[in-house]
Structure 1
């Protein structure tokens, strides 16, 4: 459960695959002793396939808080083409409304785009992405949901671009350890980033890997030095931390929770 430093722990569900239902994912979170579940609003749990009220009620019955991960695979909030971008923003707004209805407190947002070189340069795309972040952040705040922009591996916005998000928007951030590692950060540099930006990083994805890749192996089975990387979270930081493990095996999820607790 929540520790003295105010860190709450949970996990990113794999409900979008259809291999596990949203209600089973909530039961698993409760059985492990997590404080929350981070529900994917895509695929099998895309917003039109859910009854937000039922999700919220079930979470409350399990004693869980809720976060959501907004869809991203086919949405283009950074598109330089107005109709494409506006359609994507409209869908994200609808997802945020569903999140608010189920009582989710945070929504993880991928501020990325497939518009990239050689056709589009970052200096052309960044202002569009930042404007979309501001639009969604204001929309979500009006509904009691906190937008948390996630650093993405190799595409805008990487961990090396989050300074612009902090400077030019009021949005919070999700810091993904695996994505940061892909983009060249070692454990000490991750700790430095969290220490410097702990006031804006509201959520963390603990994404373990055996190499500089976006692997999402069970926490503790990779080579990421979380003891070092997450040290600033043990120093009066208040926020949420999700283990993000690509597994449907409950035992690996439970072990990942134990490994995370040992670090926190």
Structure 2
């Protein structure tokens, strides 16, 4: 944990099966992270996990636990009622598994593949917002905080989030790389975090060499994190994950060091 109380962790890349959740948690503790954000899909999809075992190992390693809810084939914004209801049922089951393992936050993609020309945003946004409200209440009853993530190029992008803030009570996961894809530079990011930091509970530090969703090791891209993350150094007390697409823990450890420098 940094001196100002910001807790640091990382998003596990366990979904491919190349790294087990056990290894991912132990490496998080060895690196000195405060928490691990377990990606609950693929090889670590909820039916392939023992929540009690996950929670026990996290406690043994002295780690807090967050989760990233599944999203690849989940349609909580579908305008088709049976599809949307099935997706909500699956997300509720994932939240229950997260609660069983002791996770405190759950990152949610509020997106849908129902897009123009077939479906306009004004048609699907009410479904997305209603699903956020439903899952936020469901999770809160289980002491899990839903943190809705801004998505790159598709609703809800960072530019739609005032509507999320105004029409739901959910917290936000701010993804730096996704915001950059949608035209925000480091100063814009800093302004957003300064203005809306009371609703941003979690941050994904997603570095890139250009305006793309690259997830390169933190500090190896061209994102100006010194500027972008400045508001997090001013009495903000949320959680920050480095989100790095690598199975090499040396790069993850270096990313942790870089993150500490920015915070």
Range of TM-score over shorter length? over 0.9
Q: Which SS does the other structure have where 1:125 is aligned?
A: helix
Give the CA RMSD over aligned residues.
Answer: 0.4
Distance 1:152 1:32 in 2: 28
Contact 2:2–2:260 under 8 Å retained in 1:
no
Residue matched to 1:214: 213
State the alpha-carbon separation in 1 of the partners of residues 90 and 98 from structure 2: 12
Partner of 1:145: 144
Q: Which residue of 1 aligns with 2:260?
A: 261
State the match for 1:174 in structure 2: 173
**Secondary structure of the equivalent of 2:15?**
helix
Shift of 1:4: 2.6
User: Could you list the runs of 5+ residues in structure 2 that have no partner in the other structure?
Assistant: none
Q: Counterparts of 2:238 and 2:3 in 1: how far apart (Å)?
A: 12
Residue 122 of structure 1: CA displacement? 0.4
Taking the aligned partners of 1:17 and 1:220, their CA distance within structure 2 comes to 25
Q: Counterparts of 1:88-103 in structure 2 under 5 Å?
A: 88-103=87-102
SS of equivalent residue, structure 2 residue 36: strand
**Pairwise mapping of residues 1-264 of structure 1 onto structure 2 (< 5 A)?**
2-264=1-263
Q: What SS does structure 1 have at the residue aligned with 2:103?
A: coil
Distance 1:124 1:84 in 2: 16
User: What SS class does the counterpart of residue 30 from structure 1 fall into?
Assistant: helix
Structure 2: how far apart are the matches of 1:213 and 1:232? 23
CA shift at 1:3, angstroms? Answer: 2.1
Q: Supply the distance in 2 between the matched residues of 1:117 and 1:209 (Cα, whole angstroms).
A: 28
Runs (4+) off by over 4 Å: none
Q: Give me the TM-score of the superposition, normalised by structure 1.
A: 0.99
- State the SS of the aligned residue for 1:194: helix
Work out the CA distance in 2 between the residues paired with 1:221 and 1:3. 22
Cα distance between partner residues in 2 of 1:58 and 1:98 = 15
Q: How far off its partner does 1:6 sit?
A: 1.3
SS at match of 1:16: coil
Report the Cα distance in structure 1 between the residues aligned to 2:34 and 2:162, rounded to whole angstroms. 29
Q: Alpha-carbon deviation of 1:187?
A: 0.1
Where in structure 1 are there 5+ consecutive unaligned residues? none
SS in 2 for 1:108: strand
Instruction: Find the aligned partners of 2:262 and 2:238 in 1 and give their Cα distance.
Output: 15
String of CA shifts for 1:97-154, please: whole Å, max 9, x gaps.
0000000000000000000000000011111100000000000000000000000000
Structure 1 CA distance for aligned equivalents of residues 204 and 2 of structure 2: 18
Mapped to 1, the partners of 2:159 and 2:26 lie a distance apart of 37
Q: Secondary structure at the match of 1:78?
A: coil
